[in-house]
Amino acid sequence: MSNARSDRDAVRAQEIAAEQQYLTVLYDKLDALRQETTQRLKDTLRDSGGPPQARTERDISTRMYTDKLTQLSAVEHGMCFGRLDMDSGETFHVGRLGLFDEDNEYEPLLLDWRAPAARPFYLATAAARDGVRRRRHLRTSWRKVLDYEDEVLDLDAAEQGSDLGLAGEATLLARLDARRTGQMQDIVATIQGEQDRIIRAGMNGVLVVQGGPGTGKTAVALHRAAYLLYTFREQLSKRGVLVVGPNETFLRYIGQVLPSLGETGVLLSTVGGLYPGITATAGESARAAEIKGRESMVDVLTAAVRDREQVPADHVEVIFDREPLRIDRKTATQARTRARRSRKPHNLARRIFRNEMFSALTLQVADRLGRDLLDRRDLDEINVELRADPEVDRALDELWPEITPQQLLDELLSSPDRLASATRKHLDDDERAELQRAAGAPWTPADVPLLDELAELLGEDDAQARAERERQEREELAYAQGVLHIMEQDEEIADEERLRVSDVLDAELLAERFRARSDLTAAERAAEDRTWTFGHVIVDEAQELSPMAWRVLMRRCPSRSMTLVGDVAQTGALAGANSWHEVLHRYVQDRWKLVELTVNYRTPAEIMAVAAEVLAEMDTDLAAPTSVRTSGHQPWARRVPDLATGLPDAVAAELREIGEGRLAVLMPPQVLAEIGPQLAESLPEATLGTRPDDLDSPVALLTVEQAKGLEFDAVLLVEPAAIAEESERGLNDLYVALTRATQRLGVLHTGDLPEVLRGI
């Protein structure tokens, strides 16, 4: 027995040594690529000056080499994580990016995990081997091979797998048991079959991924973004991919995943971050956010815009050329009717209203001077003088002002009269009082969909900008014509090269290419342009979005190429969704596909048993996902006389248990406001969870809303009864809170536990 074990150990040591040798080759190749890219970047930066075309190309090259260096640096840890041994005798290593041997006909040294040839690493089973004889999972620490796990895909080996059919079970469970950090870890080395099928689904249409806590929804969404950019790069590189998360803390948490998967050009944003130039981070009541999220707010905002298109009660007099002019109700009403009939947005229809009014006022002045004595030129001169008169301009501006979305919404919410006028058919007095706020108040996330809607209703009179853009395009066309002329006359350019260029380029096409070249990525350009439309949109925690927020996202993606990830059982926002049909029917009818993730990789079975009791009490027919592991730690509940003394002791005890892990203390907002600052001051390891950087701390003091989408080694849930009773979706919030932990769960309470938790 001892000899057999010794032989196995010797074979294992040889295999690890062989894998180490190959890994060293891969990292040598990575270092060479970094060095080459760094040198090219240095050469590019040294090349200054030159004509506009050369400077543009230099900027593009700088961006390209910088992005390449970012990608090469991001894959340093865990670059190679697997190997496929095929029936054909071929062997392929799988990793975070593709590496090739240029000296050997570009033979693959490392397969990119997104490449079709790498897919069997995630999908091959004993029943459908896809030519795979053995699948090896490598466990590495930076550039060192620590161990490996082999799966021999024959019928006998299939009997040894888990009843969940997990690929690389030992590697997966080791990963799940690892301590959490302040950043999300990717799952590229341990993607399971049900996850891979979602990641590699086609790009067209709306794909809804429904999954309970811990099923890897967020990881699947991010890996899908990386896969789509790899597979459909030509289509998506121009329009970009938008990933929408629930809050800034969450975006910071996932921020390093995409670079580690080889992608840096994705725009990460909250809905509140989708209006350029607006910082929308202020807080407000859940009720106010729910009211703002209602679809009826479209009618409210439309009414608010129409309220700014006024006519005089009787008439208004202005002095022009030392004589009074009369702006009467009938004339103004006729001008307003013509402007509204154009169906143009308010600021664009304003020009029609003013043109009508200036024409009427011109005739009024002409009648005063004697119209029969005036010709067309005289009338035009009067019209020009009227337009230049400040008093006339102010009077017409009072009737139909040019207004920005920010100005209109601020004035609407800070004026009881304006708010009452716009909402009289839609809100009661209590709801109006909930929306009322001081003028100039900071923007909240729920304000952004309203601002975006107003931008559509108001429009922008861009006549001057359009004229400037046309002038630039004329200059670019002239420049392109000059470039082509020089090429035609240059004797050093071969005839066949000159013909090839002239066949594929004309001056207009060349000018368009000049305009498309920019040192900004598609994601960066999109972040500055409210009207940008994306090639694909991925929404995480999609169940939380209000109807008004969905209108924003649908405008950003008219192609309806979207991946929506969430769990309607975890809906916490009052304006959130009860069903996916409720969200999507008005936009795509029944043309959307639902897939489900059913395996819980995060929450141990001991904690999930408690959470399942809460789920059973909720108004949903969803089943709790199946946990793949146990932690050996039973959830506990403890009643304390007061939190000020009981909570610090519990935090200290949990920190001793988890060592270098992360602990979240989740509590109702009012409790966090009352004791959070004092607790953070008494615990040097703790921070209040109001900033993205707080996740780096050993202890994060958070509300359930702030913890959504995050995971921690241990969770202390404080006053669960208050969480459950806080809103009509209190049980949903309680379900979310219970499923944030990967190892340990404790409950502290001063009053009675909710009935649903009394089994702890």
Tell whether 37 is in a known binding site.
Answer: no
Question: Is 215 annotated as ligand-binding?
Answer: yes
Q: For the chain, first and last CA: distance in Å? A: 46
| 557 neighbors 536 (Cβ within 8 angstroms) | yes
Adjacency order of strands within the sheet including 241-244: 267-269, 241-244, 536-539, 562-566, 206-211, 592-597
Q: Report the half-sphere exposure of 406 (CA within 13 A, side-chain side).
A: 11
Residue 726: both structure tokens together: 């806080």
DSSP secondary structure, 315-346, as one string: EEEEEETTEEEEEEHHHHHHHHHHHHHTT--H
In angstroms, the Cα distances linking 430 to 295, 423, 440, 456 are 18, 12, 22, 28
Residue 213, marked binder: yes
The radius of gyration of the chain's CA atoms, rounded to the nearest angstrom, is 32
Is 547 annotated in a binding site? The answer is no
Cα distances (Å, whole numbers) of residue 202 to 198, 227, 364, 499, 593: 9, 10, 65, 39, 11
Q: Label the pairing between strands 599-600 and 663-666.
A: unpaired
181 is in an annotated binding site: no
Q: How many residues appear in the chain?
A: 760
DSSP 3-state of 296? coil
Angle at 198 between CA 195 and CA 200, to 5 degrees: 110
User: Cβ–Cβ contacts within 10 Å for residue 354, how many?
Assistant: 20
Interhelix angle 297-306/447-458, nearest 10 degrees:
50
Per the rule left: phi > 0, alpha: psi between -120 and 50, beta: everything else, 540 is beta
Q: How far apart are CA 47 and CA 351, in angstroms?
A: 49
Asked whether 72 and 33 are in contact (CB, 8 A), the reply is yes
Degrees to nearest 5, angle at CA 528 with 522 and 534:
45
Partners of residue 268 on adjacent β-strands: 243
98: which 2 tokens?
Answer: 């593709």
Known binder of ligand: residue 270? Answer: no
Choose among 729, 725, 731: nearest CA to 751: 725
Q: Are 576 and 545 in contact (CB under 8 A)?
A: yes
> How is 596-621 classified by DSSP, letter by letter?
EE-EESSS-HHHHHHHHHHHHHSS--
217 is in an annotated binding site: yes
Q: Tell me the C-alpha distance between 551 and 452, whole Å.
A: 9
Angle at 163 between CA 158 and CA 167, to 5 degrees: 60
Sign of CA dihedral 306, 307, 310, 313: positive
The answer on whether 218 is annotated among ligand-binding residues is yes
Joined tokens for residue 453: 């809607």
CB-based contact 392:320 (threshold 8 Å): yes
| In contact, 635 and 743? CB cutoff 8 Å | no
**What DSSP element (H or E) covers 149?**
strand 144-152
Q: How many CA atoms lie within 13 A of 577 on its CB side?
A: 22
Binding residues: 211-218
Binding residues for ATP: 211-218
